[in-house]
Amino acid sequence: MKKTPKRRTPAKAKAHLLGVGLDNQDGHKRITSAEQFTILGGSAETHERMTETVVKTFETLKTRRKHLHTVEPGELAEIIHKSTPQ
């Protein structure tokens, strides 16, 4: 009797943005995380800017009907650049 190979369920594509702030001098540990991003460290101002950037980035992806795991790196870089507060 010949065994048929078990079908594997395809793994869900995973993608995650990681932001790391290195300008913290007050000793406070700042961590903000969600399903698809994590922001670590930074001064209060830097952490807030990174968080705002990521939130706007995901809003733009949603508007464009794209997902983090499917968007091209160049397009993602452009979205992040445009989402960064001035």
| Count of the separate structural domains present in the chain | 1
User: Which of these, 7, 5, 38, lies nearest to 21 by C-alpha position?
Assistant: 38
* 69 assigned to some structural domain: yes
Low-confidence ranges of the chain (pLDDT < 50): none
* 12 assigned to some structural domain: no
Helix-then-strand count for the chain, H and E: 2, 3
User: Which of these, 15, 19, 55, 20, lies nearest to 36 by C-alpha position?
Assistant: 15
Model pLDDT, residue 5: 67
pLDDT tens figures, 22-44: 999 999 999 999 999 999 999 99
Q: Which domain holds residue 63?
A: 17-83
Model pLDDT, residue 86: 84
What share of residues in the chain are helix, strand, coil (percent, to 5)? Answer: 35, 15, 50
